[in-house]
Structure 1
Amino acid sequence: MLKSSEQIIQEALEELKKSENFLEIDEILDFNQEKVLNAFRAHKIGEEHFYTVSGYGHDDLGRE
């Protein structure tokens, strides 16, 4: 019987969780993500800082 893609992914994740390297990398990822998010909060970076602007001032924050 063929396995669904969800079953294959779940089995792969279970195997990865058994690996110490995977857990260590996961902890580093969480730590670094928290540092970045804290820096964004400290410098009041919001989603508006990632918008693209056309240069014509249409709907730009500085024009309102």
Structure 2
Amino acid sequence: YTWSIEPRTGARELVTVRFTPRGAAAEVSVVHERILDAVTRERHRAGWNGCFDRLQAYAGGGANSIA
């Protein structure tokens, strides 16, 4: 899906979410592209980390890795 926090000119950011079965569980892969600058990229990274931390706590464990 595309993503935009505030009106911008140029290409919209692109978020791709992939679910891969891993036995009785699933691996979630999120790729967030077309981020215009380092400050915005860091804000998104922090936001995604927070989302996955909460998801991990809700689901009861598992690995969490966001580069």
TM-score (norm 2): 0.39
More helix by share: 1
Higher strand proportion (structure 1 or 2): 2
Larger radius of gyration: 1
